[in-house]
Amino acid sequence: MLIGVICDTHGLLDQRVAERFKDVDLILHGGDVGGRDILEKLSASAPVCAVRGNVDVSDPECSSLPQSLLVTVDGAHIYMTHIFTPSRDGVIGDDAHGARVVVFGHSHQQYLAQFEGVLYFNPASAGRKRFANPRSVGIVEVTDGSVKARFLPLE
Protein backbone atom coordinates (compact mmCIF):
# COMPACT_ATOMS: atom_id res chain seq x y z
CA MET A 1 0.00 0.00 0.00
CA LEU A 2 1.31 3.45 -0.93
CA ILE A 3 0.61 6.36 1.38
CA GLY A 4 1.18 9.98 0.40
CA VAL A 5 2.44 12.12 3.28
CA ILE A 6 2.16 15.89 3.25
CA CYS A 7 2.58 18.58 5.92
CA ASP A 8 2.65 22.33 6.36
CA THR A 9 0.70 23.36 3.27
CA HIS A 10 -0.42 26.56 5.02
CA GLY A 11 -3.26 27.06 2.53
CA LEU A 12 -1.22 26.36 -0.62
CA LEU A 13 -1.45 23.12 -2.57
CA ASP A 14 1.34 22.89 -5.13
CA GLN A 15 0.12 21.59 -8.51
CA ARG A 16 2.87 18.96 -8.49
CA VAL A 17 1.35 17.20 -5.46
CA ALA A 18 -1.38 15.57 -7.57
CA GLU A 19 1.29 14.07 -9.84
CA ARG A 20 3.42 12.91 -6.89
CA PHE A 21 0.36 11.27 -5.30
CA LYS A 22 -1.23 9.80 -8.45
CA ASP A 23 -0.70 6.17 -7.35
CA VAL A 24 -1.29 6.46 -3.60
CA ASP A 25 -4.04 4.59 -1.74
CA LEU A 26 -4.23 7.02 1.20
CA ILE A 27 -3.00 10.53 2.02
CA LEU A 28 -1.89 11.63 5.49
CA HIS A 29 -1.68 15.37 6.22
CA GLY A 30 0.49 16.10 9.23
CA GLY A 31 -0.98 19.49 10.10
CA ASP A 32 -0.86 23.20 9.35
CA VAL A 33 -3.36 22.54 6.59
CA GLY A 34 -4.53 26.13 6.17
CA GLY A 35 -8.09 25.45 4.97
CA ARG A 36 -10.53 22.63 4.28
CA ASP A 37 -10.20 23.27 0.53
CA ILE A 38 -6.69 21.76 0.72
CA LEU A 39 -8.13 18.52 2.14
CA GLU A 40 -10.90 18.51 -0.47
CA LYS A 41 -8.38 18.89 -3.31
CA LEU A 42 -6.20 16.13 -1.87
CA SER A 43 -9.21 13.82 -1.57
CA ALA A 44 -9.53 13.88 -5.37
CA SER A 45 -6.42 11.64 -5.39
CA ALA A 46 -7.18 9.35 -2.42
CA PRO A 47 -8.90 9.28 0.98
CA VAL A 48 -7.34 11.76 3.42
CA CYS A 49 -6.61 11.62 7.15
CA ALA A 50 -5.41 14.88 8.72
CA VAL A 51 -4.39 16.29 12.07
CA ARG A 52 -4.51 19.85 13.32
CA GLY A 53 -1.34 21.92 13.35
CA ASN A 54 -0.54 24.92 15.54
CA VAL A 55 -1.63 27.30 12.74
CA ASP A 56 -4.90 25.39 12.28
CA VAL A 57 -5.99 26.10 15.86
CA SER A 58 -7.14 29.59 14.89
CA ASP A 59 -8.62 28.51 11.54
CA PRO A 60 -12.39 27.97 11.87
CA GLU A 61 -12.29 25.37 9.08
CA CYS A 62 -9.47 23.24 10.52
CA SER A 63 -9.62 23.78 14.28
CA SER A 64 -11.87 20.72 14.65
CA LEU A 65 -9.25 18.36 13.21
CA PRO A 66 -7.82 16.01 15.86
CA GLN A 67 -4.49 16.92 17.47
CA SER A 68 -3.27 13.36 16.91
CA LEU A 69 -4.53 10.27 15.15
CA LEU A 70 -3.64 6.59 15.08
CA VAL A 71 -4.28 4.94 11.70
CA THR A 72 -3.77 1.26 10.89
CA VAL A 73 -2.72 0.37 7.35
CA ASP A 74 -2.04 -3.24 6.34
CA GLY A 75 -1.29 -4.13 9.96
CA ALA A 76 1.08 -1.20 10.53
CA HIS A 77 0.01 1.41 13.11
CA ILE A 78 0.80 4.97 12.05
CA TYR A 79 0.71 7.73 14.65
CA MET A 80 0.15 11.24 13.27
CA THR A 81 0.69 14.52 15.09
CA HIS A 82 1.95 17.92 14.03
CA ILE A 83 4.59 18.75 16.63
CA PHE A 84 6.88 15.88 17.54
CA THR A 85 10.37 15.95 19.01
CA PRO A 86 12.81 13.40 17.61
CA SER A 87 16.51 13.90 18.18
CA ARG A 88 19.49 13.08 16.07
CA ASP A 89 21.12 10.73 18.60
CA GLY A 90 18.40 8.07 18.66
CA VAL A 91 16.68 9.32 21.81
CA ILE A 92 13.07 10.14 21.09
CA GLY A 93 11.58 12.97 23.10
CA ASP A 94 7.94 12.02 22.54
CA ASP A 95 6.00 8.76 22.78
CA ALA A 96 5.31 6.86 19.53
CA HIS A 97 2.09 5.47 21.09
CA GLY A 98 2.94 1.91 20.05
CA ALA A 99 3.04 2.84 16.36
CA ARG A 100 5.32 1.39 13.69
CA VAL A 101 5.47 4.80 11.95
CA VAL A 102 5.28 8.34 13.33
CA VAL A 103 4.31 11.08 10.84
CA PHE A 104 4.82 14.69 11.89
CA GLY A 105 5.48 18.17 10.53
CA HIS A 106 6.00 21.64 12.03
CA SER A 107 9.76 22.06 11.52
CA HIS A 108 9.55 22.34 7.69
CA GLN A 109 12.63 20.07 7.64
CA GLN A 110 12.94 16.62 6.13
CA TYR A 111 13.40 13.93 8.75
CA LEU A 112 13.64 10.19 8.19
CA ALA A 113 15.10 7.93 10.85
CA GLN A 114 14.41 4.55 12.38
CA PHE A 115 14.93 3.85 16.08
CA GLU A 116 13.99 0.69 17.94
CA GLY A 117 11.73 -0.52 15.12
CA VAL A 118 9.83 2.75 14.70
CA LEU A 119 10.10 4.85 11.53
CA TYR A 120 9.96 8.63 12.15
CA PHE A 121 9.01 10.68 9.09
CA ASN A 122 8.58 14.38 8.39
CA PRO A 123 8.28 15.04 4.64
CA ALA A 124 9.03 18.77 5.17
CA SER A 125 6.86 21.65 4.03
CA ALA A 126 4.69 21.41 0.94
CA GLY A 127 3.58 25.05 1.18
CA ARG A 128 5.47 28.21 0.35
CA LYS A 129 9.23 28.01 0.68
CA ARG A 130 10.46 29.07 4.10
CA PHE A 131 14.03 29.23 5.28
CA ALA A 132 16.54 27.19 3.24
CA ASN A 133 14.60 23.95 3.64
CA PRO A 134 13.59 21.99 0.52
CA ARG A 135 9.89 21.76 -0.25
CA SER A 136 8.76 18.15 -0.52
CA VAL A 137 6.14 15.52 0.19
CA GLY A 138 6.70 11.87 0.98
CA ILE A 139 5.66 8.33 0.29
CA VAL A 140 5.37 5.60 2.91
CA GLU A 141 5.14 2.10 1.50
CA VAL A 142 3.61 -0.59 3.70
CA THR A 143 4.08 -4.20 2.59
CA ASP A 144 3.26 -7.10 4.91
CA GLY A 145 3.89 -4.95 8.00
CA SER A 146 7.23 -3.72 6.64
CA VAL A 147 7.51 0.04 6.05
CA LYS A 148 9.76 2.22 3.91
CA ALA A 149 9.62 5.97 3.31
CA ARG A 150 11.10 8.38 0.81
CA PHE A 151 10.96 12.07 -0.05
CA LEU A 152 9.54 13.47 -3.30
CA PRO A 153 10.77 16.97 -4.15
CA LEU A 154 8.46 19.82 -5.09
CA GLU A 155 11.25 22.03 -6.43
Burial grade of 120 (CB within 10 A; 0-12, 13-18, 19 or more): buried
Structural domain count, the chain: 1
CA dihedral 118, 10, 21, 88 (to 10 degrees): -30
Q: Which domain holds residue 31?
A: 2-153
Instruction: Name which of 119, 111, 124, 143 is nearest 17 in CA terms.
Output: 124
For residue 98, the domain's CATH number is 3.60.21.10
CA dihedral 34, 5, 101, 86 (to 10 degrees): -60
Q: What is the pTM for the complete model shown?
A: 0.94
**According to the model, what pLDDT value does residue 130 have?**
81
**Least confident window among 53-62, 78-87, 116-125, 144-153:** 78-87
